[in-house]
Structures are given as C-alpha cells and as structure tokens.
Structure 1
Amino acid sequence: MKNSKQDATRKVADAKKTFLSGENFYAHHFLGAHRMEEGYVFRVWAPNALAVSLVGDFNDWQDTLPMEKDEVSGVWQITTKDAKEGDLYKFKVRQADGRELLKIDPFAIRFEKRPGNAAKLYQFPEKKWRDGLWRGRTKRSNPFKRPINIYEIHTSSWKHHEDGSPYSLADLTEELIPYLVEKKYTHVEFMPLMEHPLDRSWGYQLIGYFALSSYYGTPAQFQDFVEACHLNNIGVFVDWVPGHYCINEDTLPYYDGTPQFEYTDPDRAKNNRWGSINFDLGKPQVQSFLISSAMFWIEMFHIDGIRVDAVSSMIYRDYDDGPWTPNHEGGNRNFEGYYFLQKLNAVIKLAHPEVLMIAEESSSETPVTGLIENGSLGFDFKWNMGWMNDVLRFYEMDPIYRKDHFNLLTFSFMYMMQENFILPLSHDEVVHGKKSLMHKMWGDRYKQFAQLRNLYTYLMVHPGKKLLFMGSEWGQFLEWKFDEGLEWGDLNDPLNHAMQMFTTRLNDFYKNQPALWEMEDSYDTIEIIDADNTEESVLSFIRKGKRKKDFLIVILNMTPIERRDFSIGVPYPGTYQEVWNTEMQEFGGTWTRHNEVCQSQSTKFKEYSQVITTTVPALGAIILKPETINTRKR
C-alpha cells in the first residue's frame, strides 16, 4: 500500500513537471476531476490565484472546501468523499487582485446543459470497441492515394423533429449514417462538438476543450456514433479550435486574474475579428493543455482526423483587425503559433500516424502540408480557399463575361501540387448573406441547377480531396440557418430530388474511378488538353490513373450554348465512350441518351495528333473514357 501511494505521488509530481515544460500530452489524466479510492480528487492550474475553493452540489455551493496549492506548479488540489457522479461543480477563484469569481473546470469532460456551465462529474463507461478492422485498414492505407469525399455537418441543424428540437447523436446514428452510406460519402466532418455557450458561434468559441457539448448528447453516444460510422466504412473528422476561445469571464479568460491562458500583451490577447481571446501558444502549459485536448478526442472517440480552424490567425500577428506589434525580426510571423502547430502535428503523427491533420488556412505565404523538416507546419491536408473563392466567383458571373475571367477557373492548375489540398464548398460560403451555392448560380432556376451540376463535376474531377456542406447536395436555395433544420421539404420538388440523385451518382462515380485519386499527389495525374478556349469558354483536360489505359477526358462548357461538333485532342487513336453527362434527364436535364461513341481521327490539335468530335451540352460537363485504344501510338 505504501509503495502504491508513493508511485501515485511520483506520477502526479512527474505530471506537474511535464505540464510546466509543455511536454505533458495527457494532462487530462491528472488535472480536472478524477475518481479515486479515497474519493474524488480535483486539480486546477491557477498559478497566481490567492485562493481556490471547490464548490458544488456536494457542499451546497458553499465555500467549505479550500484547495491546497503546489507553489512550484501552480496547481491547486483537494480530495473529497462527498462528491459523487452526476454532481455539478465549479472552482471559486480569488484572483490576483482579490476579486472572487466562480470559474469552470478547464479540464472538465462533461458540463451541465446550457445556459448553465458548471462541470458535471462523469465517468466514461468502459467500451469494447468493434472498429478494429476499420482502424487496421486505415493504418495500412495511403490517404493521398485513396478517395476522400467529405460531408460537412453542423450537428444541431441537420434535421429537426416535428416539435422543433434538433436531432441528438442517437438520432444521427439512426439516420445520418445510412444517409452517408446511401449518398456514397467516404467521411463526415463535424463543425465543433466541444462545449460552447452560444449557438450563434456555431461551436467555434469554446469553453470545454475536453467535453462533448451536452446539447448534442453523451460522450458514450458519440463513441457509439463513431463506431457505427467505422462499421459502415465512414471516417469521422472533427473541427477543433486551438487559436482562440470564449470571452465569458467565468470560463477561461484571465483565469487567476492575470494573463494565464492568453498573451500578456492585450493587443495579442484580444481577438477583435471574432470577439474572443487568443491563446498564448508559446506558453508551455498552454501547449500541454491544447495538445492533450487533441489527444483526448483522438483516443477517447477514435476520430480519424482533426480539422484545425483559423490557422492563419495563429501564424500571422497582423491577421486580426486592430493594432499589432511586429515580431523581433520586424515581421508579421507569429513564431509562437508557428512552432506550436509544428509541435502539435509532430506529437499527433508520432502517436497516431493514421490520424489526418487538416488545416483551414487562407494564405499562401507559409508551407502548411508536408514534412516539418522542410519548413512546413506538418499538416496532412490544407483547405484550398483560393480555389473555392475563385471558382465561386466564376460560377456567379454572367456567362457573357466568363471568357474575360477564365483564369479564375484555371489558375489553380498552376499551384495545385504546392500543398496537399482539400477542395471545400463549406458552411462559410452559404451564410451571412453570401447565398446558398444554388442561389449563387447565374440565370433562371433551370440554368442554376445545370451550373450546380457543372460545378460539382468540376469539384470531383479537379485534383484534391472533396468537401461539401450539408444541404448543398440537393441544391437548397435558402441560406443555412444554424438554429433550424435543413429544408428537407425541398426534396418534394422534382428538380431538387434529381439534384440529390445526381450528387449521389457523382460521389459513386468518383469512388469508382481511380484516375480521380490514385495519383493526385503528382502532376502526372493531370494533362491539360485546352485551357485557352476562352472565346467558347470550354475547358478540357485529362485525369490519369496508374495504368496507361486508365484515364478520363473531361470537357466543361461554361456557357448556355450547346457546343455541337466540338473537337479536342486525345492522346491515343481509338474509340472513346461518354461515361458522364450532367444534362441527362434523370439528373434534371433534357438529354435522354448519351453521346455516341467517338472514333478518333488523325488530325492535329495542339500537340495531339488524334482528335475526337462530340457534343457538349449548354452549361454542361461530359466525361469520356477510352473504350478501345492503341497506347503504343501517340
């Protein structure tokens, strides 16, 4: 017994030491509340507090349980037998200036339901996971050479019950997972699931970095959801926000009355753009806190990837609105954020190399993906915000002007291999007056659907992984509303229903065409046929797989004029069959049958010696595949 107590004491001392040095990536194992043989032990880091007490249901919220401080680590501790599972609690902190505040537990794994924010004593039930086959397969596969097609979801606004209440995680397990399977997605990505006090923030201003929002359900329910996804061959990504946090003073800000989690410089601490507080990413204890949070979500919930929000705000001092101070070199680099992200990715990839780290980053000045040794941040993938902005500007444009702005469509070919990209058509583009993707499209309703089919086809055939926000799959016309369910009634309309079927078939087409993903980490994956046909506004290129005969010819028509007898060069003599046409009647178009099989002709077209001639529908896209070709002759 004596030795076991000594071991426990030694482990706590080691945990405190590594927490202070920024090397404790399991800080949640000793900070927060933990059930022990002698009762519950509570620990909180508040180095400059004058006093800290534990208050909760177990002592009628009275100041009767003062905590003891370890002067070296700044960690306060108390053990009590009175607390039991389900009790609510907070810490009463007498701050450095003598002011007393009730503060949340930063390491709480459960909170009461809003509007309250007291931590709740919760014991994770023992789970026997059944997703070993999925996890083993994921560890053995190369993510850069497999299809990744992500359905982005805001948990509480995907679908509502008849009484207006949002679906819970249990409901989503029953309905969302079959929907993902049916619609042929490979992954689902959740906007932040962590505890947050304000729905209007969409979860991006957190208070609980270790707690699933009680609004969505229990941690056990989310474990079951992830397991069910894996059993159905669906991967799960979660958004995470290590850059800034909620400004509410009873949560993390100025926890002990001094800059604790935040920068000492008030200009760097305050995030003016989002009305929040920035983490001091250079502080070792903050690094321990944040990396422990990431490890918690990966290990407790078996998630397959973390999408790190707002990376630009973490690596540039001048990203925010308001005053900023140059670094010691006189530049705008936030070295603390830069090195923290490298450290985060190094730690995660060492412990869990199969987990994908994804950056939402909007600049091009800093290498984001690739090896840290080469100066990058070490992420696996980066959202291609440039592609998204350029392409949406192009599709919103009256086609009469598109010939003068064709570079918006093609510029991404110049840099598409500089990073490992995900092409996002995300929630940010369908809110705040930006209009839905359907509403952005030019022309009347029929033309809008035609262009939406064209856009989604371009998304699938352009190198890069794919992401589409919920509701966009059927062309919801109204903007997304965070406090309402999607407009599922749209599917009673034949055009919306056909659009949903189109997206499903397109997703399936993508999964079953290796030319669209097995070599997309190399320029060898693409060959431009003609990106200079600005007058007709038609773009054509080839996507290639590993085998010589495995390639697709893509032709996109960006005008409302049907291009008959349209000719392009092809690499080999032979026949080519149309395998995709966005204007088929079943998709909401007018075509009842595909183009005839094309026989190539010996004619010069740019550097090609073979040409095929076909018809490209107005505002449409077609894809052809070689049927019988001679690959020895080019």
Structure 2
Amino acid sequence: MAKGGANVSKEEPARFGELDQYLFGQSTHYEIYRKMGAHPGLEKGKKGVWFTVWAPNASSVSVVGTFNGWRPDSHPMKKVAEMGVYELFVPEALEGELYKYCIHTKDGRELYKADPYAFCSEKRPGNASRIASIGGYKWGDALWMQKRQEFSPQTSPLSIYEVHPGSWKKHPWTESNPEGFYNYKQMAQSLTEYVKDMGYTHVELMGIAEHPFDGSWGYQVTGYYAPTSRYGTPLEFKYLVDYLHKNKIGVILDWVPAHFPKDAHGLAEFDGEAVYEHADPRQGEHPDWGTKIFNYGRPEVKNFLLANALYWVEEFHVDGLRVDAVASMLYLDYGREPGQWIPNKNGGNENLEAIEFFKHLNSLVTGRNKGVMMIAEESTAWPKVTGDVHDGGLGFTLKWNMGWMHDFLEYMKLDPYFRKYNHHKMTFSLTYAFSENYILVLSHDEVVHLKCSMINKMPGEDEDKFENLKAGYSFMIGHPGKKLLFMGQDIGQYREWSEERELDWFLLQNKPNEHLQAYVRDLLAMYKKYPALSGNDTGSECFSWINANDGDRSIFSFIRWSPTGKNHLLFVCNFTPVDRPDYRVGVPRRKQYRLILDSRNLKYGGSHEVPEVYRALKRECDGQPFSIGYDLPGYGVAVFRF
C-alpha cells in the first residue's frame, strides 16, 4: 500500500479546509456530515465521489470498494489535516457502490472499516458502506413543520406508539424477501392507517440507525448516519417521515449515544487505537453489555454525536429523539464494581463530560428546532433531568417515568386479594409526579425476556385479565404525564414480543382482543379531546385525589382539572372483581356529572348501557360536600365530565 498519505498534502486546497478543522476541533462543526463520508460531486469537471475520514492514529488510509476491486493499493487517501483527516476524490466511483476504508495501523495491521459517516450501508452480513445521496427529496410536510413550532410537550397531547418496524407486520415468505420486511414506503401507508385509527399522536421507531445484529433491536449501532437498509434507502425513509407528517403524526427516533458494539467493521478501535472510545476499559467499556463507551471529552467524538442528532432532526424532519440509557452515561460507576471505574476530578461518580455533553446537545437541538423533543430514558433520581441548563439542569424536554412503570406493573401483577396491602404502589408516584416533565411508559423492555406480555402479567382467567388491563390503562391515561404504549399492548397480545416475527394480528378475530382495542382507541380519543388530561401535566394543580386511601376496596378516585376551567374529569377505578352497587364518590361541586367512559359498555364486552348523567347530592363523602352514587362493577372504570 502507498505510504504517501502519511504526510499532509501541500499540492491542492483540501476540501476539508482550515475552518472545518477548527470547528471540528471545537465540537461545533454541526454539519460535519456534509464533509465527512462519501459525497458524489465534481472535481475538475469530472463526476465522482469525495471520500473523507478521520483516523488520527493511522499510518495511512486508502478507500476500497466495488469501483476498484477492493484493492487497498489502488486509491491511497491524502492526509489533509494534522488532526488526522484523510480525503480523496475517486472519479470511478458511482452512487450505489459499496466501499470501506482500509486503515494501516501504526503496528502494521490492516483494518477494513465501514464509514462512520456513511448515509447508507450494505445489509448485514456484508456491512460495507454504500455511496448514497440524501439530497433531492421534495418534502410535502411544510404545514406540519410550521405547526410543530407551536407544539408544547408540556401542554399538548402526546400519546406515543412505540414500534419495531421489522416485526410490526411482515409479508409472507418469498425468495426475494425471505425475512418479510415491509419497506419504508409500505410501512408508511400501513402504519399511518393504524396509528390514525387508534388515535396516537406520535410513533417512536426503534432500530432505524444501521446495526448488524437484529437481536440488539437497533441498540448496538454501527451506522449512526445510515437509516437501516433492511427497509430501504435514506430517501425512502424520508418518504416515511413525510407521509406520517402529512397525516398529522409525529415521529420520534430511538437514539443511542451511550455505547457502540465491538464489531470489526465498526467504530471500536477504528484506526487500531481508541478513537471514539476511552482507551482505559474502566472508562471505555461496559462490563455488562460488552460494548464500548464514547469518549465525551474528545471534541471530535462529541462533534460526531452532536451533528448526528441534528442530522436526524434537520435532514429527516424527525420530531424528537428518545435518548437511550442516559443513566449509564451520567454515572461513572454504572454497572461496575469497586475498582472497575475511575472517579472524576472531584472524587465523585458523576461523569462530568457526559453532563456537559447533554447540556450542549439539548440546548443545541431544541434551540435550533423549536418544538422538537429530547426525551431521556433515565432510570434514577438524578435531579433536574428536564430542568433548564442555566439552572443546573440537563435540558431534556421529557423523561421516561421508570419508577411509575415499575410500581404500576408490580401492582397490576398482584392477585386482587393482595392489592389492598400494596395500595401505595399506585399512589406513591403522585408524590414526585411534578418534579420532572414525565412520560408514562409501558415499553418493549417490559414484554420480553420472560417478563410476560402485558395481558399475561394480569392475574386471573382470560376475562379477568382483559378487565384488569382495561382498568390499568384507564389509570395510566388519568395519571399526570404523557403516554407511551409498545405495539401489541393495545390488542392484548399473549406472546412475548420477538423481533423475529410479526405481531399476532390474528387475535383481533377474537372478541376480547377486539374489545380491548376498541377500549384503548376510546381512551386515546378521550385523552386527545380533553385538555384536562394533557393541558397542564407539569403542575400539581392539574390533579387532586378524591380518595387515595380506599385500600381495603382497592378503589382509586381522583380529578383531573382542566386549565380551561371547564370539562374537568372525575376518574373512578376499581381494581378488584367485587361489584360495588351504588358506590358513592365525593365530588367538589353540586353539578351534573356526565359519564363519558364506562368500561362495562356493550362495545367493550360489557353487559349493558347505563345512564349518562348523574346529579350530585348534598351528601358529604370522601371529605367533599357533595357526592354521586354509581353502580361500580368489579374491575369497573368510570370517567365523568363536569
């Protein structure tokens, strides 16, 4: 292999110029992906492709691909910056061709690496990068993008449908598509129809960034800038986002800046040494996960991630990023025993570089893109995750409420007899519900690895399971916080989720599953219709208990107050199979209370229709001056508007 690439070229002005070098070294080259990677273009009137890569420890670098027979001596790259940036124009290269970088290490090894900034990848197991353009798409979502600027996650409805695209629906086996994947365009129509019908406001897509191992569900990324080729091209992914937007559905992506896998073609020891990760395994490796940890203190690595977040938001019009495994980034001792980690300069376990990264990231993304959400999957009591960065916060828009999810599921799994001894599991979350801007989540992680599907977590026979789940979902909708359900949970799928097969859509031929789906559909419609459920999720004035202490009967009653001053909602939820004829619940006003949701309605598999309007009597109950009487069935839920 030619060694001339080791010296900085003095012949022609580099495409990666001095300003690029300066900004990259400051972590502020926010569109670095327009320079790094493979870009079709012109040079001296010739069509070809510019290749640019950062490999600071390399002895030399060449680009290999289908255009040169994968010969490492064919196209040596020029080193154009002392910081280790190499570039080359290849007139023979064409869009659609495959390529990698052949990196000669200082100790004489030859590594073949995929392009960290590639816009497209070869489908596994090949894993080469593919020359692709992301320009030229004609967007049709101008109205959505304009309205998005007015979107307030604190006051707007936000009900998220979490989707793993490869297993949501599958085609029957064919020789040309043995895995049955829907492509991005097919997914656009089918997914949009379902989400619109059910009434979700957003979809959250798992596993869009390229990843070689299907079983990682997309959480071990090798192609941070490449929409996975399992489902099509980058422009086809734009079509999916565009189609959803034109149908008034937002798009959130799972984003994984916490770690990356050790696959030979990926970022790990990219040029033979630690580049994207810390060299010391006490800082640079997850002992439990077997993956590498980004070096958030290295400017070029920080720039790689910052620009990547902006890339998805600004190039693909994505409306939010759900940041995975935030806790693992915040704590230096996360998942480690004593001696396996290095304290920070103050002797503590906080990762100061990651904290600074989050502040920079969230300020940057939301500052440049009004209405875009940055969502933290953070499982600890770290303070001010959604707090303002100028007040010591991390600056996230929203945070997954993992504590609520744990307590809620532990309660719901109990035999109803024992729920009276665990009443606090459903009330405790209200003591901290307004400390952050929360999303209540029932995510994919809760229906895998022998944790049981949502319906099979419920106690009792089949009928009991469905009634339990309806009650649980009702409590979730009434509880302050935005909402997220994983696919299959709204139809009562019995089997645990697997990325290898589609959801069990055939279950909708069964009445109980059909009734559950209809119930969730109406819950979501109610959630979107009434500002009481979403218009003031961050202030304690939006919620008040009527009776939080009825543990003996396992009944919860509470009010969601509307910020408009009208259409307040009263929830009554019974979590035992015991009927409570003429159940009396206290109310604050002598008004008419209109029943707008009743779990025993015929269309949900219930027994009969009931009166719609109940008039409050001057009869003290639950510490309130007035009350209404209601025939509350076992596992019954009633929501009244007043």
TM over 0.5: same fold? yes
Q: 2:49 maps to what in 1?
A: 40
Note the C-alpha offset of 1:7: 12
Equivalent AA in structure 1 for residue 97 of structure 2: D
Q: Say if 2:607 is the partner of 1:602.
A: no
Counterpart CA distance in 1 for 2:279 and 2:345 is 16
Counterpart CA distance in 2 for 1:69 and 1:160 is 46
Note the C-alpha offset of 1:282: 1.3
Note the C-alpha offset of 1:168: 1.6
Equivalent AA in structure 2 for residue 26 of structure 1: E
Question: What is the DSSP-based 3-state SS (H/G/I as helix, E as strand, rest coil) of the residue aligned with 1:44?
Answer: strand
**Cα distance change of structure 1 residues 69 and 125 upon mapping to structure 2, 3 Å threshold:** closer
Q: Which moved more, 1:597-606 or 1:495-504?
A: 597-606
Question: How many residues get paired?
Answer: 621
Q: 1:168 maps to what in 2?
A: 183
The correspondence of residues 205-284 of structure 1 with structure 2, limited to 5 A, is 205-284=220-299
Equivalent AA in structure 1 for residue 333 of structure 2: D
Counterpart CA distance in 2 for 1:588 and 1:373 is 52
Q: 1:477 maps to what in 2?
A: 494
Counterpart CA distance in 2 for 1:450 and 1:150 is 23
Equivalent AA in structure 1 for residue 602 of structure 2: Q
The correspondence of residues 335-354 of structure 1 with structure 2, limited to 5 A, is 335-354=352-371
Cα contact 1:166–1:485 (8 A) shared by 2: no
Equivalent AA in structure 1 for residue 540 of structure 2: Y
Note the C-alpha offset of 1:8: 7.5
Q: Say if 2:186 is the partner of 1:186.
A: no
- Any idea what the Cα deviations from partners look like across 1:489-514, whole Å, max 9, x if unmatched? 11111111111111111111111111
The correspondence of residues 81-120 of structure 1 with structure 2, limited to 5 A, is 81-120=91-130
Note the C-alpha offset of 1:10: 8.0
Counterpart CA distance in 2 for 1:587 and 1:273 is 44
Q: Say if 2:516 is the partner of 1:507.
A: no
Question: What is the DSSP-based 3-state SS (H/G/I as helix, E as strand, rest coil) of the residue aligned with 2:99?
Answer: strand
Equivalent AA in structure 2 for residue 466 of structure 1: K
Choose which of 143, 165, 168 in structure 2 pairs with 1:155: 165
- Any idea what the Cα deviations from partners look like across 1:45-88, whole Å, max 9, x if unmatched? 11111111111111111122111223522101111211111111
Counterpart CA distance in 1 for 2:294 and 2:476 is 35
**Cα distance change of structure 1 residues 10 and 432 upon mapping to structure 2, 3 Å threshold:** closer
Cα contact 1:156–1:168 (8 A) shared by 2: no
Q: 2:133 maps to what in 1?
A: 123
Question: What is the DSSP-based 3-state SS (H/G/I as helix, E as strand, rest coil) of the residue aligned with 1:442?
Answer: coil
Q: Say if 2:460 is the partner of 1:443.
A: yes
Cα contact 2:66–2:99 (8 A) shared by 1: yes
Question: What is the DSSP-based 3-state SS (H/G/I as helix, E as strand, rest coil) of the residue aligned with 1:221?
Answer: helix
Backbone CA RMSD of aligned residues: 1.6
Q: 1:419 maps to what in 2?
A: 436
Gaps of 5+ in 1: 1-5, 627-634
Q: 1:631 maps to what in 2?
A: none
Cα contact 2:160–2:483 (8 A) shared by 1: yes
**Cα distance change of structure 1 residues 356 and 7 upon mapping to structure 2, 3 Å threshold:** farther
Q: Say if 2:35 is the partner of 1:30.
A: yes
Equivalent AA in structure 1 for residue 58 of structure 2: A
Q: Say if 2:601 is the partner of 1:584.
A: yes
Counterpart CA distance in 1 for 2:29 and 2:135 is 24
Choose which of 568, 576, 585 in structure 1 pairs with 2:585: 568
Gaps of 5+ in 2: 1-10, 174-178
Question: What is the DSSP-based 3-state SS (H/G/I as helix, E as strand, rest coil) of the residue aligned with 1:473?
Answer: coil
Q: 1:615 maps to what in 2?
A: 631
Question: What is the DSSP-based 3-state SS (H/G/I as helix, E as strand, rest coil) of the residue aligned with 2:149?
Answer: helix
Q: 2:576 maps to what in 1?
A: 559
TM (norm. structure 2) is: 0.94
Counterpart CA distance in 1 for 2:574 and 2:583 is 11
Counterpart CA distance in 1 for 2:148 and 2:251 is 12
Cα contact 1:595–1:614 (8 A) shared by 2: no
Q: Say if 2:474 is the partner of 1:465.
A: no
Note the C-alpha offset of 1:567: 1.5
Question: What is the DSSP-based 3-state SS (H/G/I as helix, E as strand, rest coil) of the residue aligned with 1:409?
Answer: helix
TM (norm. structure 1) is: 0.95
Cα contact 1:450–1:583 (8 A) shared by 2: no
Cα contact 2:322–2:377 (8 A) shared by 1: yes
Q: 1:142 maps to what in 2?
A: 152
Choose which of 390, 393, 398 in structure 1 pairs with 2:415: 398
Cα contact 2:148–2:370 (8 A) shared by 1: no
Note the C-alpha offset of 1:548: 3.0
Counterpart CA distance in 1 for 2:615 and 2:189 is 49
Choose which of 439, 446, 450 in structure 2 pairs with 1:433: 450
Runs of 4+ in 1 over 6 A off after TM superposition: none
Question: What is the DSSP-based 3-state SS (H/G/I as helix, E as strand, rest coil) of the residue aligned with 1:443?
Answer: coil
Note the C-alpha offset of 1:221: 1.2
**Cα distance change of structure 1 residues 453 and 7 upon mapping to structure 2, 3 Å threshold:** farther
Counterpart CA distance in 2 for 1:106 and 1:547 is 50
**Cα distance change of structure 1 residues 339 and 241 upon mapping to structure 2, 3 Å threshold:** same
- Any idea what the Cα deviations from partners look like across 1:333-354, whole Å, max 9, x if unmatched? 1111111111101111221122
Choose which of 14, 20, 25 in structure 2 pairs with 1:15: 20
Note the C-alpha offset of 1:473: 0.7
